Amino acid sequence: MSGDGGSRYVVDTHPLLWHLSDPPKLSAAARGIFHLVRAGLAEMWVPAIVLAELDYACRKYRLPPLTKLLFEHAVLSSNFRFAPLDDVTFAIFLELEAPAEMHDRLIAAEALRREAPVITRDAELRDAGFVETIW
């Protein structure tokens, strides 16, 4: 899936955290996708596990409440969408053998459900090979 109009993406925790707090840590491709989302040219799906991990990281590292900021932004923007962990995504999750790490499998399941690439730097998720990834 390319970054043309109407594209959809699923985001992993670190790229979302960096988008909200330290954009220079993002790759050029990831920055470009977030720009498309802000411009209304693409959708960004945020899995429930990513929201939970983002909140955990903010609390652990004493960062500003970025999860609340994201939530407020998403409510105002139809281009950021929260993806609940529902029966459809969980059924896909149960079928996945890899990646072994539970959080990555949940993100991969959401990407498969949405037929969307994952914005991630995570090598295990990228190396799994069954979901498209962008970094």
Encode the chain (135 residues) as per-residue pLDDT tens digits: 334 446 999 999 999 999 988 899 999 999 999 999 988 999 999 999 999 999 898 889 888 887 777 777 665 677 889 999 999 999 999 999 988 899 999 999 999 999 999 999 999 999 988 899 999
Classify domain 7-128 at the CATH topology level.
Answer: Rossmann fold (3.40.50)
pTM for this predicted structure: 0.89
129 touches 112 (CB < 8 A): no
Closest listed residue to residue 22, CA positions, set 56, 63, 51, 60: 63
DSSP codes joined into one string, 71-126: HHHHHH-TTEEEE---HHHHHHHHH---SSSHHHHHHHHHHHHHT--EE---HHHH
Domain residue spans of the chain = 7-128
Rounded to 5°, angle at Cα 109 from 124 and 48: 100
Measured in degrees and rounded to the nearest 5, phi and psi for residue 116 equal -135, 150
Residue 107 burial by Cβ neighbours in a 10 Å radius (0-12, 13-18, 19+): buried
